[in-house]
Structure 1
Amino acid sequence: MALPSGLLGTLDPTSDRAVFRQIADHLRESIDKGRFREGDKLPSETELVEHYGVSRMTVRNALSILQGEGLAVSEHGRGVFVRPRPPVRRLASDRFARRHRDQGKSAFTVEAEAAGVHSEVDGLEVKEEKPSQDVSARLGSPRKVLARRRRYLIDGRPVEFATSYLPLDIARGTQIAEPNPGPGGIYARLEENGHRLDHFDEEIRARMPSPQEVRMLHLATGVPVIHLIRTAYDTEGRAVEVCDTVMAADAFVLAYQLPAT
């Protein structure tokens, strides 16, 4: 079955650009121009072979480029589809606002509600342990910490997992050490226990995922992660929590509002 006229371009035999890259360019352009929308199935290998008059391996190489760029995802037995755009917009200047905690909402819940998606948490683990050298240095060198590990899902899809580390003298024997810390999460409990939060420092970098991260977040080939480390400080200047977070980069937009003065 022939593809609709104008959907894809034609190969330039005079170009020194490899044929499979030309095909990838055509598909990418069609995605960018909205000819293929989020979730749409791209033309099959057979359709692309017939349209361009090339080998199946050439077509597969073209599709693999799009998958490596994070523009498309292959579903076994179904085909290759345009990857959905990030559903969650993470507004750094608002997500930890005290009014959200006062309403009994965690930061992730606020973001999910703004995006109109369903959020849930699984894989929860709470235990005392010896901190890494980096976490220990950030928290003022405690011998042991309370670690809270959890994975976040949006509409059933894993998009983030995080571990919070808190000094034992703050967390032990409080609701923070319980599987469910209650409305507003651990930050609400910290403030109830006398540690009024003053500010957060965040370090963000992008990298390719480890094999374990690929499994935990169900990442497709070529999708990087956002690695964020946040330190929460109370009004006395004490670091009261370090949160180590890994996010699927195709699930989030990080938005910032910066002062001009």
Structure 2
Amino acid sequence: MAELPLPDLDPTSDRAVFRQIADHIRHAIEQGILAEGDKVPSEAQLMQHYGVARMTVRNALQVLQGEGLTVAEHGRGVFVRSHPPVRRLASDRFARRHREQGKAAFIAETEGAGGKPAVDSITITEERASADVAERLGITSEDHVIARSRRYMIDGQPVETAVSYIPAEIARDTRIAQPDSGPGGIYARLEELGYRLDHFVEEIRSRIPLRDEVRALKLAPGVPVFHLVRTAYATGGRAVEVCDTVMSSDAYVLSYELPAR
């Protein structure tokens, strides 16, 4: 254990032994003693250092994996998890200036932060609106919407998935219904169609990811997601889009500027 000095167990503590071990390794990660990609001491090394059974060590390592701090690679060991690049979700990300520059919000913000943005897994369908989407758009469940589903990447790592729902009467037979919606994204196309955007309403909550979300975002065990639902309103108050977004929580910082009046 010369490469990674770890404290001894505290026999007077009422904290379970496996949790003390997890605390020591977590501290080493938080202090940068163990960096992203570094290998955590093996089960045998930890057993020898602490004088405990293999199951105790495994329980400690499972705690760290459950917290999303480490990942186990079959036949290689346990490693400190590499986190995706953090993107700051700012309150002005949908400012008109981005669209006027021909860039959708995700691309503009990611490039501004020095990252390499990409969008893949784009699918487009026309379908009946769900009850929730219909209510948010102010239409009926008999009405159709154009659904645009995609996944966003930063530097090759997936960070979020999103599905936009736009009333079919607006989007049908336009570039909004095509895989490449053009410069500035669908918000630029909506404004070209005469729906000048006025404001957005967002609802955000944190939750445990679904199985498909874990796969799509390549989430480590224990990493929750932000579930964000945004409604875009045009001048006059008409809702023109609902976007249902799932984001890896360790890839984002939510940052908002709020007026005091």
* TM-score between both structures, scaled by the size of structure 1: 0.93
The answer to whether the aligner puts 1:84 opposite 2:87 as a matched pair is no
Paired with 1:91 and 1:102, the residues of 2 have a C-alpha distance of: 20
Paired with 2:78 and 2:112, the residues of 1 have a C-alpha distance of: 29
State the secondary structure of the residue aligned to 1:241.
strand
Residues 138 and 242 in structure 1, CA contact (< 8 A), matched pair in contact too? yes
Match of 1:170 in 2: 170
Deviation at 1:34, TM superposition (A): 1.9
Q: Which runs of 4+ in 1 moved over 6 A?
A: none
What code does the residue aligned with 1:108 have?
A: F
The answer to whether the aligner puts 1:25 opposite 2:7 as a matched pair is no
Q: Which runs of 5+ in 2 are unaligned?
A: none
- Name which of structure 1's ranges 17-26 and 52-61 shifts more when overlaid on structure 2: 52-61
Paired with 1:218 and 1:259, the residues of 2 have a C-alpha distance of: 37
What is the correspondence of 1:129-168 to structure 2 with a 5 Å cutoff? 129-142=127-140, 143-168=143-168
Match of 1:112 in 2: 110
Paired with 1:83 and 1:260, the residues of 2 have a C-alpha distance of: 40
What is the correspondence of 1:163-202 to structure 2 with a 5 Å cutoff? 163-202=163-202
State the secondary structure of the residue aligned to 1:8.
coil
State the secondary structure of the residue aligned to 1:73.
strand
The answer to whether the aligner puts 1:215 opposite 2:215 as a matched pair is yes
Residues 160 and 247 in structure 1, CA contact (< 8 A), matched pair in contact too? yes
Paired with 1:243 and 1:211, the residues of 2 have a C-alpha distance of: 20
Residues 84 and 157 in structure 2, CA contact (< 8 A), matched pair in contact too? no
Paired with 1:223 and 1:120, the residues of 2 have a C-alpha distance of: 22
Residues 86 and 250 in structure 2, CA contact (< 8 A), matched pair in contact too? no
Q: Which runs of 5+ in 1 are unaligned?
A: none
Residues 124 and 149 in structure 1, CA contact (< 8 A), matched pair in contact too? yes
What code does the residue aligned with 1:170 have?
A: I
What code does the residue aligned with 1:95 have?
A: R
Residues 140 and 239 in structure 1, CA contact (< 8 A), matched pair in contact too? yes
- Name which of structure 1's ranges 216-225 and 73-82 shifts more when overlaid on structure 2: 73-82
What code does the residue aligned with 1:25 have?
A: D
* TM-score between both structures, scaled by the size of structure 2: 0.93
Q: CA RMSD in A?
A: 1.6
Deviation at 1:120, TM superposition (A): 1.4
Residues 88 and 115 in structure 1, CA contact (< 8 A), matched pair in contact too? no
What code does the residue aligned with 2:60 have?
A: A
What is the percent sequence identity of the aligned residues?
Answer: 67
Paired with 1:77 and 1:107, the residues of 2 have a C-alpha distance of: 42
- Name which of structure 1's ranges 23-32 and 177-186 shifts more when overlaid on structure 2: 23-32
- Name which of structure 1's ranges 11-20 and 77-86 shifts more when overlaid on structure 2: 77-86
